[in-house]
Amino acid sequence: RERAMSKVRRLADLATSRPQEETLLRMSIISVVDPGFWTRFGVHFGLFFGALQGQGTPSQLAYWMSKGALTMQGITGCFGMTELGHGSNVAGLETTATFDPETDEFDVHSPTLTSTKWWIGGAAHTATHCTVYAQLIVGGKRYGTKTFVVQLRDTKTFELMPGVNIGDLGKKMGRDQIDNGWIRFTHVRIPRSHMLMKHTKVLRSGKVVEPPLAQLAYGALIQGRVSMVSDSANVAKRALTIATRYASVRRQFGDGTPGAPERKLLDYPIHQHRLLPLMAQTFAMTFAAREMTANYHQLMKQLGAVDGAQGADASDAIKNLKETHATSAGLKAFCTWMCLNIIDQCRQSLGGHGYSAYTGLAQAYADFTVHCTWEGDNTILMLQCGRYLVATALEARNGQPLPDNLAYLKGALAAGAAPRATGDVGALDTLQAAWSSVAANAILSAVRAFEAGLAKGLSKDNAYEFSSAARLHAARMHTYTYLLHRFAAQVAQSPAALRPVLARLAQLFGAHSAVQHSGEFLQSGFYTGEQIEALKAFVNSACAEVRADAVPLTDAFGYTDYVVNSPLGRYDGNVYEKYFELVTSLNPQKPVPYFDSLIRPLLERTNESDDGPELEFDQE
């Protein structure tokens, strides 16, 4: 933690003096090298400052910047959204902020134990201010969750402010460099203007002004999720660099011909089957991330332009917002799960060595898994995405035009025969058609489940609830399809020299995923049994081909040994020596400290047993 903090300072300087995208570039490397520190820094700049930008009026933003919010002079921030009893649903937070008309202040209070702010990064040791999400209460009426800036510690003495109580959450699975803490507020008073009022405003008189479009506030959430998609890609690259390089050095068994060296692990089909499809997935995520980031930026421009005026283009900014919100939700959940799985598979592919903390993947798993709950639990996010698919499908059914990456629904909505696979089952566009039909299928069966719910007289929300399994399924099939489409699109516009390799990877991604979900394809009748078999054979051959330049592909990731930071994944391949060196230098030989106290007594214990006095009256 101390180390994480000492780096913050160097970076804060750089961040304030270098142009911003250089900092972001640096950050995305840091998130691979030192995720703990990345979080600490991200909490302040990403979340805390993000919240100020996203929900503070310009003058409020200027005010906090003047107090040092941007350059961390006098302010270190943290992001107070999650509570002990609530995480994903922001609307149901229990912390209250009650407006007091006489003193023109808000009274921030944690009414129950489960309303304790929990998992707040940076709160335990380093934060001085916090953007708190709390229920706005004016005159006894609740206006929903809004954001308030609350000072936690006196910036000179670092003592807790009156009524603020903070504790350390202690040992976590990973990322212990960051000081997560819990916060309780006991009637903490803050001036009215510490409420971020870009949207909802509370006037001196106590009147509350609601903005017309309620959900503009979701903007801030998208930025976090989009950056997680690219993190998933980056972390997956590192995991694969290690596993692939190791697999191309490690030898095992052999074909019995005497004297011949054993075969390299990566030459075994079974091992190719373990790693190379993951590599295809990584490329798919990389391309998806690159595009999501682009969409997000011109969405922000759009939203930025939309604020003051009313009128037409606001609504399609809105639609665009909803669309990005849903896609990013699905993508985040999907990619973090996929990345987590990639890390784990790569770790297991190292065999026993994967268990050592020095080979790099043990900690990576522990650090990354938090992404699956950050910014909302993955399952919840997939359901939101599913919900959006059903809603769009319903709108499409009665004439609304489809957003273009749901264009594949048009075919499915039109009556008529489901499309079938012809010719080469592994061709890229066949695979795209295959996934489109499966995704369309899944969405429509979710629509059916939804209407079945309505038919049983459930309310709209409960009908969604009823069809949650189907929605989850629809969201996953859709995301696969989305990824394959993006992948294919990028392949089309990539330089000629790389096209065949990338095409091959896209096919491998499509085919392998299809084989894994062969049930869906058989069910939608797109592939028949034999074609599935052919597809399996294709996967094997695709793996064998991709294997040819598996190592150069990892070089293309462009991670230096320092970033990979694992002896098994070093560039020059001599793994065992470095590994041996690393282990012995970090564990110098010393005598066994508890030999005298524990082992000697264990080894030399004798269990003699005396058996007491003999008795003198034993005869009757």
Binding status of residue 593 toward a second copy by CB under 8 A: yes
Cα–Cα distance between 95 and 183 in angstroms, integer?
11
Distances 507 to 292, 324, 345, 476 between C-alpha atoms, Å: 22, 26, 21, 19
468 binds a second copy (CB under 8 A): yes
CB closer to a second copy, 180 vs 490: 180
Q: Which of 146, 56, 131 is nearest to 98 (CA)?
A: 146
Question: Phi and psi for 208 in degrees, rounded to 5?
Answer: -110, 130
Smaller CB separation from a second copy, 124 or 502? 124
Q: Which of 234, 282, 288 is nearest to 35 (CA)?
A: 234
Pick the closer one to a second copy by CB: 154 or 313: 154
Sequence-distant (6+) residues with CB within 8 A of 50 are 220, 223, 224
C-beta of 545: minimal distance to a second copy in Å?
16
Dihedral angle of Cα 42, 379, 348, 249, to the nearest 10 degrees: -60
Candidate list 102, 375, 520, 616, residue with the active-site label: 375
Least distance in angstroms from the C-beta of 246 to a second copy: 12
Stretch that binds a second copy, among 203-211, 250-258, 310-318, 489-497 (CB under 8 A): 250-258
Nearer to a second copy, 296 or 480 (CB): 480
| Lookup: tokens for 359 | 């080979």
261 binds a second copy (CB under 8 A): no
Q: Say how far apart CA 395 and CA 410 lie, in whole Å.
A: 12
* SS3 state of residue 447: helix
Check: CB of residue 360 under 8 Å from CB of residue 32.
Answer: no
Q: Catalytic residue at 375?
A: yes
Interface stretch with a second copy, choices 45-53, 235-243, 261-269, 483-491 (CB under 8 A): 261-269
Site string for a second copy, 397-436 (x = CB under 8 A): ----------------------------------------
Query: Nearest CA to 428 among 537, 542, 522, 279?
Result: 542
What is the C-alpha separation between 408 and 441, in angstroms, rounded? 11
- Binding of a second copy by 587 (CB under 8 A): yes
Report how far residue 364's alpha carbon sits from residue 238's, in angstroms, rounded to the nearest whole number. Answer: 10
* Spacing of C-alpha 498 from chain mean position: 29
Among 59, 398, 493, 606, binds a second copy (CB under 8 A): 606
Site for a second copy, residues 174 to 203, rule: CB under 8 A: 174, 182
Distance CA 349, CA 97 (A): 52
Which residue lies nearer to a second copy by CB, 492 or 583?
Answer: 583
* DSSP one-letter code for 597: I
Q: Which of 103, 459, 541, 560 touches a second copy (CB under 8 A)? A: 459
Closer of 497 and 592 to a second copy (Cβ): 592
Q: What minimum distance in Å lies between the beta carbon of 58 and a second copy?
A: 25
CB of 158 to a second copy, least distance (A): 5
Nearest to a second copy of 398, 587 (CB atom) = 587
Task: Specify the residue, 293 or 356, whose C-beta has the smaller distance to a second copy.
Answer: 356
Question: Does residue number 520 form part of the binding site for a second copy (CB under 8 A)?
Answer: yes
Binding-site member from 255, 608, 614, 620 for a second copy (CB under 8 A): 255
Minimum Å distance from CB 315 to a second copy? 26
Confirm or reject binding of residue 579 to a second copy (CB under 8 A): yes
**Residue in 402, 454, 518, 534 binding a second copy, rule: CB under 8 A:** 518
Q: Does 522 bind a second copy (CB under 8 A)?
A: yes
Query: Under DSSP, is residue 381 helix (H, G, I), strand (E, B) or coil?
Result: helix
> Cβ of residue 320: shortest distance to a second copy, in angstroms?
27
Q: Which of 24, 519, 548, 549 binds a second copy (CB under 8 A)?
A: 519
| Residue 244 to residue 267: CA distance in whole angstroms | 11
- Determine if 158 is a binding residue for a second copy (CB under 8 A): yes
Q: Which stretch binds a second copy (CB under 8 A): 52-60, 72-80, 239-247, 392-400?
A: 72-80
Shortest gap between Cβ of 582 and a second copy (angstroms)? Answer: 9
Side chain identity, residue 473: H
* Tokens 């609530």 belong to residue: 86
Does the footprint of a second copy cover residue 469 (CB under 8 A)? yes
Told to check if 215 binds a second copy by CB under 8 A, we report no
Whole-angstrom Cα distance, residue 466 to residue 10? 52
Taking the C-alpha atoms of residue 333 and residue 376, their distance in angstroms, rounded to an integer, is 9
The answer to whether 517 contacts a second copy (rule: CB under 8 A) is: yes
Q: What pairs with residue 137 in β-bridges?
A: 98, 142
Q: What part of residues 333-392 is at the interface with a second copy (CB under 8 A)? A: 347-348, 351-352, 354-358, 362-363, 365-366, 369-370, 372-373, 377-379, 383
Collapsed DSSP state (helix, strand, coil) of residue 133 = strand
**Does 607 participate in binding a second copy (rule CB under 8 A)?**
yes
Q: Which residues contact 236 (CB under 8 A, 6 or more apart)?
A: 278, 281, 282, 285, 338, 339, 342, 343
Q: What's the min distance (Å) between Cβ of 610 and a second copy?
A: 16
What SS3 class is residue 105?
strand
Residues 6 or more apart whose Cβ sits within 8 Å of residue 28: 227, 230, 231, 234
Task: State the Cα–Cα distance between residues 122 and 120, nearest whole angstrom.
Answer: 6
Say how far apart CA 437 and CA 517 lie, in whole Å.
Answer: 13
Q: What are phi and psi of 149, to 5 degrees?
A: -95, 120
Strands 141-151 and 164-168: unpaired
Under a CB-based contact definition with an 8 Å cutoff, are residues 240 and 554 in contact?
yes
Using a 10 angstrom Cβ sphere, with 0-12 exposed, 13-18 middle and 19 or more buried, the burial of residue 552 is: exposed
Shortest separation between residue 420's beta carbon and a second copy, angstroms: 14
Nearer to a second copy, 6 or 400 (CB): 6
> Is the Cβ of residue 100 or residue 577 nearer to a second copy in the bound state?
577
Site size for a second copy, by CB under 8 A? Answer: 123
Site for a second copy in 527-556 (CB under 8 A): 529, 532-533, 536, 540
Out of 252, 298, 315, 400, the residue judged to bind a second copy by CB under 8 A: 252
Positions in 269-328 near a second copy (CB under 8 A): 269-270, 273-274
Enumerate residues 83-142 that contact a second copy by CB under 8 A.
84-89, 92, 113-114, 116, 118-119, 125-126, 128
20 near a second copy (CB under 8 A): no
Residue 169 beta carbon to a second copy: minimum distance, rounded to whole angstroms: 6
CB of 518 to a second copy, least distance (A): 3
The answer to whether residues 282 and 237 touch, using CB atoms and an 8 Å cutoff, is yes
Catalytic residues, which ones? 375
